[in-house]
Chain A
């Protein structure tokens, strides 16, 4: 078995198993904890509070107008590289073929060259994000191993992907093997670190939003 076969075969299988069970466990372990009883008289009926939760799930995607002046730059940076990542993951022909092999559905791809340019831009934006994390006094204080390692592993997948798609520095098969191995590593790391925010983001906004909305508090 060569490196590429290993990366695509047992390594990928192992990574997917860790990913699925890890994510499931991390979500279950949280939701299995005690659910606090609320006994105070709600300000709004349950339906309205639920709507408040749903509203928060969507509306927190953009900052409240009152905060934009202070957070606009972070939001813009965050949005741009996330959009870049989505495009690269979901609109690159070989990725679509891979996802089809997993889920059986496919969709049209963007031209490979365009996706390569977007990937390079995304990487540049991620470097800006890292620079900000290293230099901004609040981010520097908050950041821990998880923040840097999650950044590193995501950037590594993009770098190896860019190398593979541009056939840079080594035979294509070898570059592809590295790319897939780095993706396997990302899958394994995913449930243990902050990449999990992909799964937490909407439940967190909705449930916190519901808890606030039942009091009539602002969401």
Chain B
């Protein structure tokens, strides 16, 4: 875990308990300026709780949070001038129009009218929201709502952007718009912390932190994380994928057996030894199968394998 030199976000010893149960336990990580740092983990892992504490809207039990050089716990109001937070749940007013929402948030940040209007245009254009300015927020699609949330979050030009599952339930086109905006923000020097349950999105981050049951399990670049993949991922093509799955599921050294489009994927601990065993087992069971190929693991494969490995170790 390399702690970047110029950390924009620094978290250490962060703990939050609800009714005695730890939702976040002893969390430590740092995010450098200009990163798109991904926080990934299953539901209930503690992503939202971390985001809220970083945004200064939920006091932690103990620990340290420094954002842009400001101690968030000691002075959340000053930190809020530099950061922006988009909650997981849509937090804008559904009975106000797109324009009214944007103006309201601009006004709360006391942005002069001229400056505000200068900023709104490009933001609306970049998110393809310009035609919907007069539409009530409640009548927008899920993707448009999130883009509106992002516009409101950007209206005071924050240096740090905290996004809690911004693309969950968002259509692919809006998702692409969304990520295009994130990349251009990054280029202009904004540091982004994004949580996501979509692991294909995780690959787009500069670095990833895997959170599980409130603990940080792994934290590194997607490429280096993939090298942690325990064993080798194989794809077995077959017209009867279910039979393949059922046959190999219990074999020694085989794990993470998963149905995919045209076959089965599985992780084997030792390719040279397990591959012949697999073929033999399938042949003797009379299950038809075609090519068996080594496959580049995705982040999803990786995390499933890592978490399983941890569970087995425990």
Say if A and B assemble together: no
Interface residues, chain B, CB within 8 Å of chain A?
Answer: none
